Structure 1
């Protein structure tokens, strides 16, 4: 039976570079933020690039696309829970059809990175609260704590983290998937401006500059409010990182 892996993330969580590993594997059909197409359109305020008008724009249509793809081969999809939170919260049937894994990144880093690209992002789009909500739904559904990856662990020790994830998913670790050519995969073109670093990468690496511009919280008070709101949910999930 074919496998479906759902990587649930929040913006600026290094989820795209983890997705790139699954693109390079070659044995999964990979979908990049499919549920974003129900949350946004080419006319939305959020920055976007080459919009693909051929993709479904309803929750049921997107879900059907993923399920149909699973009939052909293994499926990996990465998305933000806030894109489809109301529908996903009650759709335990869909969640039960896949391995649900989660990735989190310390919110000061992710919020400041998010603000550089989309200064007008709303509170809920930071994403940690929605991610935690679905984490709780999956915990209740399965009776066990879901698999959680901390993005800093992934960046610092990519091969051990990916090996451990493969063991959890019961798939083979493929060394060739840990490196790639610098390019923009077709899946990323709608959101290309969000993934410049991932597009120009050749493997998962820890960024050279580790300091976070904490002064941004003083220059933009709303960022501090976002941080105070979301850090609780990050901390709760971080307790369960693998």
Structure 2
């Protein structure tokens, strides 16, 4: 049977640039945030493109779409855990039928980046807590620790990080998938405004060394978000790239 890989993320975690590697591999049908279509529509305040793009709008229909795709090809889908947290946590069958990978980024960087695009973001949309809850459920179901990728490791050491991921997933490592021509893949168009850096990239680049935390520290609202989500980041980060095959 064809395989399915789910990359679960929080916003601004570098998950899209990791998804780009799987687009470039060419051996997976790649879905970009399919469950976002159950969380948002054209009337939602969050910045978006054309959400009337033919994607189903409810959890079961989106899951069926992924399963149908798996009948014809290997499937890779990337999504934010908070988009579908309640039904996903209750769906042991769906979680168990795929290989689940998680990516985390330090909340300070993620929050500042998120706020720059969507200042009205609600607390739950920072996403680390929801991601941790799904991580714990996968760990409980499988009895194994799933693979967790640290976004800074991915950015600073992309080849090493991706070789480890491929080893975990029992995939061939394809070095040619780490470079590409700058473009917007079709999958990204509904959320294009969120992915400008990824769209203009030609490879995985390191984070800027001159990160300025002042927008976080000067904003009590954002500091509260950091304090809420940092414990979940720290719990997951201790398992970085230690997943058991």
TM range (shorter): over 0.9
The SS at the match of 1:84 is helix
Taking the TM superposition and a 5 Å limit, the aligned residue runs for 1:34-183 are: 34-183=34-183
Cα separation, 2, equivalents of 1:53 and 1:155: 31
The number of residue pairs the alignment matches comes to 241
The SS at the match of 1:8 is strand
How far the C-alpha of 1:219 sits from its partner, in A, is 3.3
Structure 2: unaligned runs, 5 residues or longer: none
- Number of the residue aligned with 2:214: 215
The SS at the match of 2:71 is helix
Cα separation, 1, equivalents of 2:111 and 2:32: 21
Cα separation, 1, equivalents of 2:178 and 2:135: 27
Cα contact 2:37–2:51 (8 A) shared by 1: no
Cα contact 1:37–1:55 (8 A) shared by 2: yes
Greater alpha carbon shift after TM alignment, 179-188 vs 158-167? 158-167
Structure 1: unaligned runs, 5 residues or longer: none
TM-score scaled by length of structure 1: 0.98
Cα separation, 2, equivalents of 1:173 and 1:218: 40
How far the C-alpha of 1:205 sits from its partner, in A, is 1.0
Cα separation, 2, equivalents of 1:96 and 1:7: 14
Cα separation, 2, equivalents of 1:179 and 1:225: 38
CA deviation profile, 1:134-160 (whole Å, cap 9, x unmatched): 000000000011100000000001011
Cα separation, 2, equivalents of 1:18 and 1:217: 26
CA deviation profile, 1:196-240 (whole Å, cap 9, x unmatched): 000000000103x32332211243211000000000000000000
How far the C-alpha of 1:50 sits from its partner, in A, is 2.8
Say if 2:198 is the partner of 1:203: no
The SS at the match of 1:7 is strand
Cα separation, 2, equivalents of 1:19 and 1:10: 13
State the 4+ residue runs in structure 1 displaced beyond 6 angstroms: none
Cα separation, 2, equivalents of 1:214 and 1:53: 37
TM-score scaled by length of structure 2: 0.97
CA RMSD, aligned part only? Answer: 0.8
How far the C-alpha of 1:123 sits from its partner, in A, is 0.2
Cα contact 1:123–1:226 (8 A) shared by 2: yes
